[in-house]
Amino acid sequence: MRKTILSLILIVPLFAAAQATPAPNTPQKFKLPASPKTVAWGYYDAAAPPVLRIHSGDTVVFDTLITNSPTGLERAGVPPEQVEQSLRDVYKEVTNKGPGGHILNGPVFVEEAEPGDTLEVRIQKIDLAIPYAYNAFGPTRGFLPEDFPYRKMKIIPLDKDRMIAKFAPGIEVPLHPFFGSMGVAPPEGFGRIDSAPPSLHAGNMDNKELVAGATLFLPVHAKGALFEIGDGHAGQGNGEVDITALETSLIGTLEFVVHKGTGQKYPRAETPTHYISMGFHPELHEATRIAVREMIDFLVSAKHLSRDDAYMLTSVAGDVDITELVDGNKGVHVMLPKAVFVK
């Protein structure tokens, strides 16, 4: 699963020009800022023009934006000088929007990626970009809209030195920054899809395990893969029950490696300690069935277990967790500890 097609031993300087195309087989590092010309607002689409072209083995530093309006943040109590100018620019200038609400950096075109391949995304580093996050709910959203039929938004200070969120007096929440949305374009026939429901393209998974040090494996459905990233979270609980986490702006450093002809059908991931399978579906039961079957398939193909043993091992050693309950498609993931494999 982690067989690499390139030897990545060359250290290169950071490139300022996002549009530059690196030389094949020479790993390069790019910076992709969030601007009106580099974001996809609310969609994944195989027909979307790329804002950056890279090669397998390259690394990109993404500056991502909080998903809320400058006026909304200011009304909730954020000082105007703490609202990023790039966010103001995006809200002022971007007109090609929807159908979803996430501000995503990309798409990034990976030259070697073709349908049937796997795009390995190594999450090297994630940094906080601003000193606050927000959490909010509304009358028609979240898991309990009937209990909370009104709107409320809370600005939550972030302490970067201590890596905690100051939720309220006497309440501190540990930070574990991750991107709620990382994905590729869906198959061409899907057209432009909403950025909210996660699916076979990954997208808005809201999986809090995908922190720095984790690796995401995405099936490629369109030429170039067309990777997008955003929906920064400073932290989140499994379920994301009110529909938002500690929503914030993040800076992420990601390395991309293409694996040819894998035939992978569904997103998978791993951390230093666990293998992760995923399932997404409008019904929680069906999302769980997908996630469990994906873990079984992984154990059969990658660990050479029989299907019977793979099913049994998932039952005795795997944890089936609810990823999120609020984004149209429910999310479930199975965590299997790597430590069970002693050889």
The CATH number of 14-261 is 2.60.120.580
* Residue intervals in the chain for CATH 2.60.120.580: 14-261
Average pLDDT of the chain is 93
List b or e across 77-93, with b for residues whose CB sees 16 or more CB atoms inside 10 angstroms.
ebeeeebbebbebbbee
The region, left, alpha or beta by phi > 0 then psi within -120 to 50, assigned to residue 79 is beta
Q: What is the mean pLDDT of residues 85-103?
A: 96
Domain 273-340's class?
alpha beta
Q: How confident is the model at residue 343 (pLDDT cuts 50, 70, 90)?
A: confident
The C-alpha atoms of residue 268 and residue 56 are separated, in whole angstroms, by 19
pLDDT in tens, 155-189: 999 999 999 999 999 999 999 999 999 999 999 99
Q: What is the mean pLDDT of residues 191-200?
A: 97
Residue 51 tokens read as: 């804002």
Q: What is the mean pLDDT of residues 85-104?
A: 96
pLDDT in tens, 293-321: 999 999 999 999 999 999 999 999 999 99
Total residues belonging to the chain? 343
pLDDT in tens, 204-247: 999 999 999 999 999 999 999 999 999 999 999 999 999 999 99
Q: Does residue 29 surpass a pLDDT of 90?
A: yes
* Residue the block writes with tokens 């099913």: 311
Q: What is the pLDDT of residue 24?
A: 61
Residue 89 tokens read as: 């620019």
* Residue intervals in the chain for CATH 3.10.28.20: 273-340
pLDDT in tens, 252-266: 999 999 999 999 999
